[in-house]
Structure 1
């Protein structure tokens, strides 16, 4: 794989990509330009652009899909069984680096697209953190999620490498973990669900959806709540010929509804995502992200997890599970004040334990890069705010239980009062 991108090499790659994109039916608004930034590239306006303007249009035929990857790999006699969509697409990407230009079959057609993606040294997901940086997240859900993802992806890579080595030992040696990790990070940070390629596009994934890459469109960075529309243009599918040619002729565009001023970045909307997902999959965070969540698991709860957001959104399921495990009545109206009091104390103790485990921002290594430090601070802020709101929920339940006892003529006295 190529080393770190220099300014000159990236400029050349961006120019070659735009020529390739246009030659293959892609389109970009005439008043936007691809610029170099520390993380790779961005897209900015060269003039004031009115609202409701289409920014980028990508033909379906340029999408990187599992079926395209399968066909391309078969052309070099790699025909595995049982690989995941990620394994197929990542291997397809890696073979653009493994095969020399003269020997690369025509089906590996995304060299110019892959050439503008950020080099490995610019990726900032936790799988690219230094040991000290990852250790800074110890005690958090994100730390455990990173270890799980690393293990999962390494197992995938080992399976792919073993199969490829059986086909060609030189290719197997060149199919390194670093290359697979880079390709998998491209997929986690740039992929859209295949549902966007339907006649009524949607970012909402379904059980049958799979990841795809959309050259040009995935160059637009994310802004939460940015009003955009995904628009599919396709031939009249009333005829059999048109239906057969749908994927060859259909295109997908991103339309921005807000005006964009000269010099502003053209931004897309990836949907509501908590910082845990943004950091793990994309390598960036949003300050005070309203969509932040935390996964809570209760001992004895049969492995079930609850996703709780800010202001304790979603905590009701956790509360009911605590009550169930303590043997309280199923019907809330039949519960005694003792049930609520005990459940509130159990929930409060659990949350305090999680708060105590959160990374201590005052004990961080000086070697942590500024981008990672920003992600850590944003992540911890969100996790702490959610846990504090759950504590407030438990305290409210406790106060109501005490009031219920008073109404029954019982005055409760606590050891810490």
Structure 2
């Protein structure tokens, strides 16, 4: 879709100037266009395939280590104990506090260690953020009965605890700083991190979007400016960090040509709508990567993560769940019975799995937005997209369970077992 181009705002021009001053390179076709969520990147002119859109030196990245160093430098000399406490903070606490610390000073008095002001000022203000933590109470209530509802509350509680720890340190360092580190400031910074962070594995000679056990979140000003398009062909190219170059550079290359006045896109990877809504603030229509997290009581030891199993559309990933249910059924048999999995076990397991999925399906929201509550249109869209995916996945699990039950009945008949289907039994007499 062709878009009309408007002059870039002052904060964008300042950010662009800052990037170039610090060794970054930006393609001449890149144009920051205001939209409802902040900015999109639109092509001023046709961009051919395999074009490098932006290149940024490693030194411009915001990392936990660089944040710790900068925060340590702004603390008073007598605050050695406070500096030691910073080293116990999480990676998110360090980066968020570094971002918020820019608000402690005006432009003339900002220490040189707080060098990302032009970048931070170019990011969307709080009122434009739409992650689940920015929903109104009425909007969040739409999601009651879903995994996302609980995940949102859990994240809010965890982040508020982090914020309180950070604020106490800054209040001790300078009584004026504590009140400036508001919950809104910390939440905004944490949202920037959740929606824009890359794994540090990207800053290697073989850049990868897949985190490793040793990687940590980082922010890459300029690289993070483009919005997401699923499956969009892109590459991240890094100059050899082991070469003589003192400050290696990471570049974003778009392999698909882009016509003038259309948006340039990045690719954030394959993410379900739950993750996109919770961490990014948008969703995809009929997202093929949607998942639902299932937990089986008494069978969690089979899930190595301890967080449940992720099952996708068409019951993708259901086999570990099915095995867990089978094991739970067979483990509940009498000790003198054969401990192997029998066709009867499979029938019970299919019934258990089907009932579980049906129960979750029935607890999902109705999908209707209340007429007496003001729901923002973009939130309503996220709700519809998320709910469609959850319903589709649970229905596919129900169908999987039915197929397992049907197959078990066929095997039972082959073995000459007489099975009575539910509903064929005579009704039991009620107890007196």
With normalisation by structure 2, the TM-score equals 0.89
Work out whether residues 194 and 279 of structure 2, in 8 Å CA contact, stay in contact via their aligned partners in 1. Answer: yes
Q: Secondary structure at the match of 1:327?
A: helix
**Counterpart secondary structure, 1:112:** helix
More displaced stretch, 104-113 vs 92-101: 92-101
- Specify which of 216, 221, 230 is matched with residue 222 of structure 2: 216
Cα deviation code 1:276-330 (max 9, x no counterpart): 1011000000111111111100111237411111111111111111111112699
2:50 and 2:107 map into 1 onto residues whose CA distance is 41
**Is structure 2 residue 412 aligned with structure 1 residue 414?**
no
Q: What is the deviation of 1:412?
A: 3.0
| Partner residue in 2 for 1:92 | 98
Task: Give the aligned partner of residue 400 of structure 2.
Answer: 393
- Structure 1 403/49 Cα, relative in aligned 2: closer, same or farther at 3 Å? same
Unmatched segments (≥5 aa) in structure 2: 1-5, 76-81, 334-338, 425-432
- Flag structure 1 segments of 5+ consecutive residues without an equivalent: 1-7
Which residue matches 2:330?
Answer: 327
Q: How far apart are 1:362 and its partner, in Å?
A: 2.2
The 5 Å alignment of 1:75-224 reads: 75-77=73-75, 79=83, 80-224=86-230
Instruction: Determine the C-alpha separation between the residues in 2 that align with 1:176 and 1:323.
Output: 50
Aligned with 1:121: secondary structure? helix
- Shift in CA distance, 10/169, structure 1 to aligned 2, threshold 3 Å: farther
Deviations 1:146-201 (A, max 9, x none): 01100110010011111111111110111111100000000000000011111111
Give distance in 1, aligned partners of 2:108 and 2:387: 49
Q: Which residue of 2 aligns with 1:372?
A: 379
For 1:254, what is the secondary structure of its paired residue? Answer: strand
Report the CA distance shift for 1:46/1:10 in structure 2 as closer, same or farther (over 3 A). closer
Among 299, 302, 309, the alignment partner of 1:301 is 299
- For 1:67 and 1:302, the matched residues in 2 are separated by 36
Change (3 A) 1:52 1:398: same
Which residue in the other structure is 2:336 paired with?
none
Query: In the alignment, is residue 60 of structure 1 matched against residue 51 of structure 2?
Result: no
C-alpha separation in 2, matches of 1:10 and 1:254:
22
Q: Is the 8 A contact 1:328 1:339 kept in 2?
A: no
Q: Please, which of 250, 260, 263 is the counterpart of residue 262 of structure 1?
A: 260
For 1:90, what is the secondary structure of its paired residue?
helix
In the TM superposition, residue 102 of structure 1 has moved relative to its aligned partner by 2.2
Distance 2:35 2:369 in 1: 31
* Alpha-carbon distance in structure 2 between the residues aligned to 1:65 and 1:186: 13
Q: Is contact 1:328–1:335 with CA below 8 Å preserved after alignment?
A: no
Q: Which residue of 2 aligns with 1:4?
A: none
**2:276 aligned partner:** 278
**In the aligned structure 2, how far is the partner of 1:329 from the partner of 1:349?**
18
**Per residue, is there more helix in 1 or in 2?**
1
Structure 1 range deviating more: 74-83 or 189-198: 74-83
